[in-house]
Chain A
């Protein structure tokens, strides 16, 4: 168990050191998410539409699109110079590789989201600070599901020539339950609803998070095999 956790930690450490040196992933995700929000802010007349009604959808579109860039890059890093083959040759359970990449992706996406949320608050003139706790719970649940499935599918699509196209085509339809749950909960939180009043949505999103992680554990062995 100790070795298993050490292997997961080693993968996360390696991804962090790489990102600290290249600064490719976080900057690309942040700029992309910011651009999505800017495009929407200029195309929506907020004097007609209520910001708390359109804001959640726009926020999650920004997170998803930017996150997809991150996921694509994540396994590309492993494909360069045959590094994935190197990982396959170490005496590690394949799920340790999956969890290492999942945690890296989750942390990188969460950092990007923490930078985007204040900008979203400023552009849409929405007070997020008074709902910060529940909002962070919802963002975490949505991001976890996105990363759980996204990490699995990016490992699958990394073997394809058309990986940049295939990842969103495979990922987005399967993410629908999580996206619906995350957008609905974000909207309700901005309207002042308490977290325990939306346990159905929390249950739905958390259930899909668990399902996606479970499916990944069961299939990652076959997906990583050539």
Chain B
């Protein structure tokens, strides 16, 4: 990626599904190497925000630039610069990790796809299982393989949508270490999560998304973590009341 001041630049971003405003006027920017964690109750529009930024869905209005590319243009070059880890693993269950990653390496046009695949499989600690079918993997192993898929082409920007969901404590710690290494290698990371301790520990900036808006966005150094935690729980509780779910 060219040296850009802002790796991600979002202005007045909106996405509506009929009358539902999933993303409602979000503004922020992330410099190269920064890590933003976005918290928010279910239905706040966090996944939609990631889908827009990764070019999977079009915004209704506003602009978003990722690695200097306007996401609305769907430029293939932009997809070389991003890696996405979402709720679903995007891995073929009947293929092995090696076959899966070789396939994605070829789709990315990487040279020596097998070597690249073996290298990232090693990085996420799955070398002993590289020839087993993905179908037989635990949730934690799938998530690690999902990271391998996302970093295979060495992207400068990573979008992580609730990567800790469904992981036990050990798997979550392993994943956290991986993410820390990725952050240390000066990748720009935008992560959504409900895990307060992990989310706050790793990030440079923190945001709270409520009903499609960023209700809070600060540098982590300026944030009182206890106060943020109570604000987050209030937002979740209010959201549940608004949705008619009793606590």
Contacts and interface: CB of A to CB of B under 8 A. Distances in A.
Contacts of B92: 14, 18, 77, 80-81, 83
B58 A225 contact: yes
B95 A17 contact: yes
Interface stretch (B106-114, B177-185, B210-218): B106-114
B172 interface: no
A31 interface: no
A134 B217 CA distance: 69
Interface residues of B, number: 31
Given A14-B95, A89-B54, A6 B79 contact: no
Contacts of B76: 91-93
Q: Considering residues A88, A90, A92, which has the most beta carbons from chain B within 10 angstroms of its beta carbon?
A: A90
Nearest to B80: A91
A168 B92 CA distance: 26
Contacts of A17: 95, 99
A6 B58 CA distance: 28
Interface stretch (B24-32, B83-91, B162-170, B223-231): B83-91
A85 interface: yes
A89 B56 contact: yes
The A interface, classified by DSSP as helix, strand, loop or mixed, is helix
Interface in A49-89: 77, 80-83, 85-89
A13 interface: yes
Nearest to B83: A89
Task: Indicate the size class of the contact surface on chain A.
Answer: 20 to 34
B94 A18 contact: yes
A7 B79 contact: no
B51 interface: yes
A18 B95 contact: yes
A191 to B, nearest CB: 45
Interface string A6-30: 1101110110011001100000000
A82 B94 contact: no
Nearest to B58: A225
Contacts of B104: 86, 90
Contacts of B54: 89
Contacts of A197: none
Given A21-B94, A90-B104, A85 B109 contact: no
Given A17-B99, A92-B107, A82 B86 contact: yes
Interface of A: 3, 6-7, 9-11, 13-14, 17-18, 21-22, 77, 80-83, 85-93, 225-226
